[in-house]
Copies of this chain bind each other. A is one copy, B any other.
């Protein structure tokens, strides 16, 4: 139950990454006024693993979703992710100067421009989801906006960040840590899968199992992040390693230890594969391969 990613997946993945990069470059325009466009492009282009867009596109592929809706959803999720990194790196939050091996946006463009670029990227995400009605059906647009808004907001990513802020230097138990990460990182990863599914018309069983898959990889991603924070170096990560430990933030590794954290990651990977196997969907190879990539990544 652990399919090895083959050449087919690598080819599909490379093609999709090309589509996403081209679309992002087309949709995040440099001509936004007074340098804002440059800051937005800097935050979004030429960086990142594009895991969320690939999840959207793989889920859409599994359900036979409408390709243009899926491409827009893929880019919209990535813009939300990118804006969250810009704001998260700011001095009043994590105060980080390095991201994807480059100076962070506020270092390169100033704090005020970073704040605005993040704000504008969030709005642009919803703009991408709402093109003319002949490009994406209005009911699909509304559904995609609904899913993205809830994943990004107080009950999702922003809420998870608030828990994260409040948790520095405080002991959390595993249930609390899980709650924080399911919101902070997991909500948007799960939304990527569910939004991809919303580009088609999966039956109830497929919907439910894809959501389970999304939950499992969402949590697995964070467990692996915590492991990499202590085992990888900054050059490999493209961001400051060891910062959670140094900021006295609770992590899976600090709570469970390294070996138990690795076992947890493997268990979540098995859950993700099992959910796909139970989905009744035929074309889940890319989703299987992406789950593997989440767990076995080195950065």
Contacts and interface: CB of A to CB of B under 8 A. Distances in A.
A113 interface: yes
A152 interface: yes
B32 A155 contact: yes
Nearest to A150: B127
B162 A113 contact: yes
A15 to B, nearest CB: 29
A54 interface: no
A146 interface: yes
Given A35-B162, A141-B142, A126 B149 contact: yes
Interface stretch (A55-63, A117-125, A268-276): A117-125
Contacts of A156: 123
A19 interface: no
A93 B115 CA distance: 9
Interface in A55-100: 83-84, 87, 90, 92-93
A242 interface: no
A296 B127 CA distance: 35
A36 interface: yes
A202 to B, nearest CB: 17
Number of copies: 2
A27 to B, nearest CB: 11
B138 A142 contact: yes
Contacts of A120: 153-154, 158-159, 162
Contact of A123 (B33, B110, B153, B167): B153
A208 interface: no
A24 B260 CA distance: 45
Given A123-B154, A138-B143, A34 B163 contact: yes
Contact of A159 (B32, B115, B129, B142): B32
B113 A154 contact: no
Contacts of A163: 33-34
Contacts of A125: 149
A40 B153 CA distance: 11
A133 interface: yes
Contacts of A129: 145, 149
Interface string A20-46: 000000000100111111001000000
A211 B3 CA distance: 56
Contacts of A130: 142-143, 145-146, 149
Interface in A201-238: none
25 contacts: A32-B155, A32-B162, A33-B162, A33-B163, A34-B159, A34-B167, A37-B154, A87-B116, A90-B115, A92-B111, A93-B112, A115-B115, A116-B161, A120-B153, A122-B123, A123-B150, A123-B158, A124-B149, A126-B126, A127-B150, A127-B153, A138-B138, A138-B142, A138-B143, A141-B142
3 A-B pairs with the lowest CB-CB distances in the bound complex, closest first: A123-B153, A92-B111, A130-B146
